[in-house]
Amino acid sequence: EPEVTQTPSHQVTQMGQEVILRCVPISNHLYFYWYRQILGQKVEFLVSFYNNEISEKSEIFDDQFSVERPDGSNFTLKIRSTKLEDSAMYFCASSEEMPGASSYNSPLHFGNGTRLTVT
Amino acid sequence: AQRVTQPEKLLSVFKGAPVELKCNYSYSGSPELFWYVQYSRQRLQLLLRHISRESIKGFTADLNKGETSFHLKKPFAQEEDSAMYYCALGGYGGATNKLIFGTGTLLAVQP
């Protein structure tokens, strides 16, 4: 069964440094997402991406964050200048259809996550 | 505001006992509700969704719009059911494609 893959599994960086988290969504999926989970807290939506542009973003996704689909397979999340509070597990997800576009939602397929530690 | 509440952080039951994981939501329109599960060292994966009205691994969940609930139930718990369970609200109004997750409930099934 095809899976969403994320690399690296664990990233340690110093405050103020730039990080890029990488994801390879399932090949025939059209919608891509980043979520994050701070330790002990809920999974939070960051951004959704479709047709080479951001379709929706949360208030968490400020100017320090950006996403890109540089080629036909990768989907990246960049944090320009990391802060201590960016430490979290970051999950990439993809779906075949847009949830909510019809009465039958396409489920999200999640990657294993990248644990980002900012020191 | 859209919100999902899972009141229990931990639910511990013995094998063979019934399980009910509670989920309440807040949304003014027509909700789409999901249960996601995360087994130890595995990825978050869809367990079931209300619109398909299916039973997966013996689990069922019924959307109760009057009580704004989507509780997950299983009549006889198995040890392999031990995992983190997240209720999620999504697809509301067709104008968004994000999921709102609850804080999750850790189900521990004792032998």
pLDDT digits (tens, 9 = 90+) for B41-88: 889 999 988 877 778 899 999 999 899 999 999 999 999 999 999 999
pLDDT digits (tens, 9 = 90+) for B5-36: 999 999 999 999 999 999 999 987 778 889 99
Residue A103 has pLDDT above 50, yes or no: no
Whether A107 sits inside 8 A of B46 (CB atoms) is: yes
Contacts of A9 in chain B (CB under 8 A): none
Q: Is the peptide bond before A8 cis (omega within 30 degrees of 0)?
A: yes
Closest-CA distance, A98 to chain B, in angstroms, reads 6
Rounded to an integer, what distance in angstroms lies between the CA atom of residue A114 and that of residue A93? 12
Tell me how long chain A is.
Answer: 119
Taking CA atoms, what residue in A is nearest to B39? A112
